[in-house]
């Protein structure tokens, strides 16, 4: 059970079932038994697109951004998804302007303003993860599912990204899979330990 407004970490060795939990929540895997409840509603058979629209959004373990778009363009594409299309020429001038302003706000929220007009491919690894978080925030999630957000980072990037996670969690629920136990201990309100698909603690 994940409490609203908290950071809840899933930890355990490789093969424990952490990513499987995320795949079940986002419907990339179909449960064979049991129920998944979200805000009291049974979502066990709900489709992946509907899950995202309900506010459960996953930030993938491998940084999923468009490398040949700028930071600003990446965030704008993410903002346009809930509107039904990512093609800017279908949008009115006023809609484009509001998307542009909101994209700049999200970029500032994740401390990427100096990089706004850089290609995503040019970003250092830690900045790419910040961009990925910005594109996840663009979908206005109630629950953010962060799959190893600190994977592959150096010490300096870890500190910055951990602080960013803490900041964005202030107004939403975060469920996080992470192997860096010191960061998990520092950030998390609740920690669940998995082993071979079972909860140990």
Q: How far apart are CA 18 and CA 10, in angstroms?
A: 6
Query: What does the domain layout of the chain look like in residue ranges?
Result: 7-199
Show the low-confidence residues of the chain (pLDDT under 70): 60-64, 82-97, 201
**Cα end-to-end span (Å), the chain:** 12
Dihedral angle computed from the Cα positions of residues 42, 17, 60 and 95, in that order, rounded to the nearest 10 degrees:
10
Q: Specify the CATH number of the domain 7-199.
A: 3.40.50.300
174-194: pLDDT as tens digits: 999 998 999 999 999 999 998
pLDDT digits (tens, 9 = 90+) for 100-135: 899 999 999 888 999 999 999 999 988 888 899 899
How many C-alpha atoms does 115 have within 13 Å on its Cβ side? 25
> What is the value of pTM for the model shown?
0.82
User: Rounded to 10 degrees, what is the CA torsion of 80, 65, 129, 3?
Assistant: 50
Q: Which of 61, 64, 66, 68 is nearest to 77 (CA)?
A: 66
Answer yes or no: are the C-beta atoms of 5 and 175 closer than 8 Å: no
């Amino acid at each position: 059970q994940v409490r609203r407004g908290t950071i809840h970490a899933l930890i355990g060795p490789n093969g424990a079932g952490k990513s499987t939990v995320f795949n079940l929540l986002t419907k990339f895997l179909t449960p064979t038994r049991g129920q998944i409840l979200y805000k009291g509603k049974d979502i066990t058979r709900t489709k992946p697109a509907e899950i995202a629209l309900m506010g459960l959004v996953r930030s993938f373990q491998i940084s999923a951004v468009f490398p040949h778009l700028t930071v600003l363009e990446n965030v704008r594409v993410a903002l346009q998804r809930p509107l039904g299309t990512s093609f800017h020429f279908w949008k009115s001038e006023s809609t484009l302007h509001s998307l542009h302003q909101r994209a700049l706000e999200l970029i500032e929220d994740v401390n990427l303003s100096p990089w706004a007009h850089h290609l995503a491919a040019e970003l250092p690894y830690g900045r790419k993860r910040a961009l990925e978080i910005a594109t996840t925030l663009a979908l206005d999630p109630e629950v953010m599912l962060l799959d190893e957000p600190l994977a592959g980072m150096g010490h300096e990037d870890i500190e910055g990204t951990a602080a960013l996670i803490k900041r964005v969690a202030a107004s939403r629920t975060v469920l996080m899979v992470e192997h860096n136990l010191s960061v998990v201990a520092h950030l998390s309100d609740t920690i669940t330990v998995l082993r071979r698909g079972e909860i140990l603690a």
